[in-house]
Chains A and B, each alone.
Chain A
Amino acid sequence: MAVIDELSLTEQTASALLALQESKKATAEEITRAFLREIEARDSEIKSFLLVNAEHALEQARRVDQKRARGEPLGVLAGIPIAIKDNICTKGTRTTCGSKILEKFIPPYDAHVMEKLGQADAVVLGKTNLDEFAMGSSTENSAYQTSRNPWDKERVPGGSSGGSAAAVAASFAPIALGSDTGGSIRQPAGLCGIVGMKPTYGRVSRYGLVAYASSLDQIGAFSHDVADTALLLKVIAGHDSRDSTSAPLPVADYLLSLDQPVKDLTVGVAKEYFSSGLDSEVEKAVRQALKVLESAGAKVKEISLPYSPYAIATYYLVATAEASSNLARYDGVHYGHRSSSHANLIDMYCKSRGEGFGAEVKRRIMLGTYALSSGYIDAYYLKALKVRRLIRSDFDKAFAECDVVVGPTSPTCAFKVGEKSSDPLAMYLSDIYTISCNLAGLPGISIPCGFNSQNLPIGLQFLGAPFSEEKLLRAARMYEKATAWHLARPKSK
C-alpha cells in the first residue's frame, strides 16, 4: 500500500482545500484548474465522467474568488470542486442516468441537492458514470462506458455510483455525490478505498434524483475522509417540502462534534456477516479493525441479525416492483427516446422502451412486473414486504444492545471487469452486506480499513439507528483517527 507523505493539491481533502483558500495559498480557480487538468490527463483511462463542464466550473470558481476578494460571506463549500452522479438532475446540463433512453435529456430544473451545493458555493465539475438507472454493482450496466478502479484498472470501481467513487479515488474531485438504493454508495466507496455514506431514508431530499426504488433510494456523499463526508452531509441534509418523505428534523453540525469520541461506544458484530462467502483477507482486515476500535475504547459485542440471509431476495422483489412502476414514465411521449417506427401507441411504448433500456433494466422491470402481477403479488411482493419488516425488527433489537453495527462492506475486494457481468445473480450477491440497510432505512458508512495482498482496498461498514448520523460519523472517526488508511492514494501512473 502507498501512504503518501506529501499529498499533491488534487490529493487533498475538501477541508484542506478550504484552508488553503482561507490562507490565500490557493484560489478556487487554481484548485479547479488543477482538478480539470487531472481529469483531462487521466480520465480517458478511468472513465469516471460522462460529462465535464470545465467552462462552467471555472466560472463558478472565479465567482467564489471574487466574492472572497470583496469580503462577502461564503458558503461552507466555497471553491470546492465536486462530481455529481448522473442520475441527479442538473438544470441545463444533460442528465442521462447512464441510459440511452435519456441520451438527450436536459433537465428543466435542479435537484434539491444541487440547489444546496449552489448555496454552499461548491464548484460542479461534471456528471459521473453509473450503472443504468443505478441498477448494478460495477458500472458495467452503463450504456456509455465501464469505469475503472483507480487501484487496478483491470477491475471495476463497484457500483452503481462507480463513476463518483472512481473520480474521488483518482483525485479528479475531492468530494462527490452518489445515490444508494442497495449499497450503491458504500460498495464502490469500499472497493475504491474512500469514504462513502448513505444517510437515513428521509435525511436528504430526493427531489430531482431520478427514481429507481423510491422507498430505498437516498442521496449521499463520497470523500477521502469522514470529516469531508460530515461537511458535505450537513450541506445536503434537511427537510424539503418537494419530497414528502423527507424528514422534518433538524440537521446537526456533524463536523463540529466529529472529533468527540462516542462515550462507552458499543459496537455490535453480527455473526451472520462473517459467514461463508466472505473473503479471508477481507475478514482479517475487518477483525483487525474491530481490535482497533476496542483499543479506542469501544466495547465489541456479538449480536445476531437472523433475517439477514433473506435480504437480497427481499430487495430484488421490493426494488424491482418499485422500479417497474417508476420506470413506466419512460413512454417516449414527454421526454426521452421515441422509436422512429411504430404501428400504434402501444407499439410506440414497447419499441421506444425496448430500444432505450439496456438488458439489466429490462430484467428488473420484468421481475418487478411479474412480482406485482395478478396471481403472484401475494407470493412475491407482499411476502417480501413482510420479510422486510422482520429485517427491520432485527435492527431494532440490535440497536437496543449496541450503538453501531460494524462489519465488512463487501464480501470481496474489487472484481475484474467482465467477471460477473454475464451472471446477474452473482452480481446481486456481491451486495449481501449493504442491502439490509436500505430495507431498514438506516444510515450506513463505508470507510477504508486496509488492503489485500494485491493492494486492493477493503471497506469497513458502520450501520446506525435511524437519524443517528452524528453518532455514526463520530464512531467511524474514532477508527479513522487511529489509522492511516484514509491517507492512501492510488499511484496515478
Chain B
Amino acid sequence: MALNQEQVQWIAHLGRLELKQEELASSAKHLSAILEYINLLQQVDTSDVLPLTHAIDMANVFRPDELKPSLGVQDALANAPDRKGDLFGVPPVLD
C-alpha cells in the first residue's frame, strides 16, 4: 500500500521523529516502495502457523535477588546532555 505524506507525518510522530519537508516527500516514496515489496508475504498461507519471536529456544532466566554494586552516579551522568547536580536535566514535563 502507498503512504501519503500525511500518513508518514503521523508515523514519524509516533516514532518521535521530526522530519523536514524534503524528508517527508522522500520517506513517502521509499516507504511505499518497501511496503509494496513486503506485500509479497500476503501470498504465504500462515493460517496454521504460530509466530516465532526467537529462533533459538528461550527460557526465562532468573537470578537471586541480591544487592550488587552497579554503575556509579558520576559514571551514569557522565554522558548527560544536561545535568543538574546529581540529576538529569529535562524540559518541564507538566505545564
Contact = CB atoms under 8 A, between A and B. Distances in A.
Interface of A: 104-106, 108-109, 200-202, 215, 241, 244-245, 247, 307, 309-310, 312-314, 316-317, 324, 328, 331-338, 342, 344-351, 353-355, 357, 359, 362-363, 365-370, 373, 379-380, 382-390, 392, 424-425, 428, 439-442, 466
A388 B50 CA distance: 10
A108 B56 contact: no
Contacts of A384: 41
A106 B79 contact: yes
A441 B42 CA distance: 23
A-B pairs, top 9 by smallest CB distance, nearest first, are A441-B55, A354-B18, A385-B51, A335-B79, A338-B81, A389-B52, A386-B46, A350-B18, A244-B61
B67 interface: no
Contact of A353 (B18, B53, B56): B18
Given A389-B51, A424-B30, A440-B55, A316 B18 contact: no
Nearest to A330: B16
A345 B79 contact: no
A314 B27 CA distance: 20
A215 B14 contact: no
A390 B51 contact: no
A350 B13 contact: yes
Interface string B65-95: 0000001000110111110000010111100
B31 A367 contact: yes
Contacts of A313: 37-41
A328 B56 contact: no
Dominant secondary structure of chain B at its interface with chain A: loop
Contact of A317 (B8, B15, B38, B56): B38
Interface string B5-25: 000100111111111100100
Contacts of A351: 18
Contacts of B39: 313
Interface of B: 3, 8, 11-20, 23, 26-27, 30-31, 33-35, 37-42, 44, 46, 49-56, 58, 61, 63, 71, 75-76, 78-82, 88, 90-93
Nearest to A390: B49
24 contacts: A106-B79, A108-B76, A200-B56, A201-B55, A245-B58, A313-B38, A317-B38, A331-B16, A332-B81, A335-B80, A344-B91, A353-B16, A354-B18, A367-B31, A367-B35, A368-B15, A369-B15, A388-B52, A392-B55, A424-B30, A425-B30, A441-B56, A442-B55, A466-B56
A191 B56 CA distance: 29
Contact of A245 (B27, B54, B79): B54
A310 B40 contact: yes
A383 B41 contact: yes
Contacts of B50: 386, 389
Contacts of B63: 241
A362 B38 contact: no
A197 B23 CA distance: 36
A206 B54 CA distance: 15
Dominant secondary structure of chain A at its interface with chain B: helix
A336 B41 contact: no
Given A310-B44, A353-B16, A380-B38, A363 B56 contact: no
Given A359-B23, A359-B26, A386-B51, A344 B92 contact: yes
Contacts of A336: 79, 81
Nearest to B71: A108
B74 to A, nearest CB: 9
B17 A350 contact: yes
Nearest to A246: B61
Contacts of B30: 363, 424-425
A369 to B, nearest CB: 4
B34 A425 contact: yes
B17 A366 contact: yes
A307 B44 contact: yes
A316 B91 contact: no
Nearest to B88: A333
Contacts of A344: 91-92
Contacts of A424: 30, 33-34
Q: Interface centre among B27, B38, B82, by most A CB within 10 Å? A: B38
A346 B75 CA distance: 26
Contacts of B18: 347, 350-351, 353-355
Contacts of A342: 91
B79 A362 contact: no
Given A348-B91, A390-B44, A390-B49, A106 B61 contact: no
A346 B40 contact: no
Given A357-B17, A367-B31, A425 B54 contact: no
Given A310-B41, A336-B79, A388-B52, A345 B90 contact: yes
Nearest to A370: B11
Q: Interface centre among B8, B27, B51, B58, by most A CB within 10 Å? A: B51
Given A316-B34, A338-B82, A387-B46, A369 B11 contact: yes
Given A362-B23, A466-B55, A466-B56, 17 more contacts: A245-B58, A328-B16, A333-B80, A334-B76, A336-B79, A344-B91, A348-B91, A350-B13, A359-B23, A366-B27, A383-B44, A386-B44, A386-B51, A387-B49, A390-B46, A424-B34, A441-B55
